[in-house]
Amino acid sequence: MRSPCVEAGLIPPLVQLLNSTDQEVLLQTGRALGNICYDSHSLQAQLINMGVIPTLVKLLGIHSHNTALTEMCLIAFGNLAELESSKEQFASTNIAEELVHLFQKQTEHEKKEMIFEVLAPLAENDVIKLQLVEAGLVECLLDVVAQTVDGEREEDIAQLKTASDLMVLLLLGDESMQKLFEGGKGSVFQRVLSWIPSHSHQLQLAGALAIANFARNDGNCIHMVDTGIVQKLLELLDRHVEEGNVTVQHAALSALRNLAIPVVNKSKMLSAGVADVVLKFLQSEMPPVQFKLLGTLRMLIDTQAEAADHLGTNGKLVERLVEWCEAKDHAGVMGESNRLLSALIRHSKSKEVVRTVIQGGGVKHLVTMATSEHMIMQNEALVALGLIAALDLVAAEKDLVGAGLVSVLHKLLSDERSAPEIKYNSMVLICAVMGSEPLHKEVQSLAFISIVSKLRAHENKTVSHQASLTEQRLTAQS
């Protein structure tokens, strides 16, 4: 039935009828357009181009007392809001105020759900996020949470989830998040904090995700750590070591990882016992939890030699990292494991840590990491391998030979695309392994001198200087 209507050119006159003042005409017109355009993105896009969104928003404001017309508008918004092209038009109307106003008047669960279904896709747009915050949506959401948190009916549980999820979504916008943070003094921020010790897993989850979203700049992170949020998150994690709700574990670890980014927070968080609590999840078999656990530890030990030394000599941790370095099905976990293994060595610069990594079988993974497609990972691997060679070459020799380190270095230096720091650290490493007879022999057999001598003319002064030193070393020991 749809095609004949479209071919007969029915859509433009129907759109014109939306300017009528007759409520029955408006209702039937809206329904007809809805039926014709249902599930067709191209026809919905045509409606958007014909300016139907501002018209419908205006109708909602004028006829908000007419239940049937209101529902017709909400269904239309729900369909149109799925299209990315609609967001800009919605943002230029007062849709946020109209929806919040409508929401405040509702008492029935079904009506609130209808409005929620429009709010969720609209709130993905950062401009509309801010408009919704300014229109007072957050206060409505907090009220819904307060009313439903102890409810056991299915509709209470559903509303609690929808309201708290939408709250987290609003915090994904930088401006809307900062507005609600209010320097850590905001009532909204305080209310969200109170969700973390809640008995409801849904609120614990939303509270932890909200903290992770608030923790998106250094100022907020520093304020939150100074006001004791870390302790709340640790208590939450402790509750979930046994209960084991994976989404809550993941959210709380995400929040801790973000909070650990500013340098001034690291020692405070280590003193609060964050590393010890995080290590309780080392046995988790869930990749999302493993990924966040690794990221949190890596952030914590950055520039913290004592913590890196303490964790780097933890045989169980190193053993698990080596195991995860082989998690080929989970690239994120594999990458983070390699990076943490390297970070433990780089930040501790400790012979004991190097020995623990060698004994745990980590050396070959660092050699593989040096061939990563990500320059930052290549570099981290080379620096860690340089420290291994400098601190305990004898113990690492067999693994370095077995992993083909010398041919990896040859490839990195021969590749014109290698960044200057990769070339520099590769040459430093060549010099460091010359004290090992088998590695020295491999260096000689691969004719490094010709590649290194070319690098003396490299435009980067640090690279050209290191090339001269390396060439002298290779020539002296040839």
CA distance 141 to 160: 9
- List, in sequence order, the alpha helices (H) in 302-436: 305-312, 315-324, 331-348, 351-359, 363-369, 375-402, 405-414, 420-433
**47: pLDDT strictly greater than 80:** no
Q: What is the pLDDT of residue 478?
A: 66
Give the pLDDT mean for 461-478: 90
Sign (positive/negative) of CA torsion 30, 32, 38, 43? negative
**300: pLDDT strictly greater than 90:** yes
Where residue 4 falls among pLDDT bands split at 50, 70, 90? low
Range with lowest mean pLDDT among 77-86, 133-142, 224-233, 365-374: 77-86
Global model pTM greater than 0.75: yes
Predicted confidence (pLDDT) per residue in 310-360, tens digit: 999 999 999 999 999 998 889 999 999 999 999 999 999 999 999 999 999
pLDDT above 90: percentage of residues in the chain: 66
Domain ranges of the chain: 393-477
Better-scored residue on pLDDT, 389 or 79: 389
Lookup: tokens for 107: 């008492």
Q: What is the pLDDT of residue 29?
A: 84
CA distance 217 to 331: 27
Better-scored residue on pLDDT, 42 or 388: 388
**410: pLDDT strictly greater than 60:** yes
Predicted confidence (pLDDT) per residue in 139-159, tens digit: 999 999 999 888 888 888 889
Lookup: tokens for 398: 């067999």
Range with lowest mean pLDDT among 5-14, 51-60, 144-153: 5-14
Crossing angle of helices 420-433/437-445, nearest 10°? 130
Predicted confidence (pLDDT) per residue in 221-268, tens digit: 999 999 999 999 999 999 998 767 899 999 999 999 999 999 999 999
Where residue 34 falls among pLDDT bands split at 50, 70, 90? confident
Helix, strand, coil percentages, rounded to 5, for the chain = 75, 0, 25
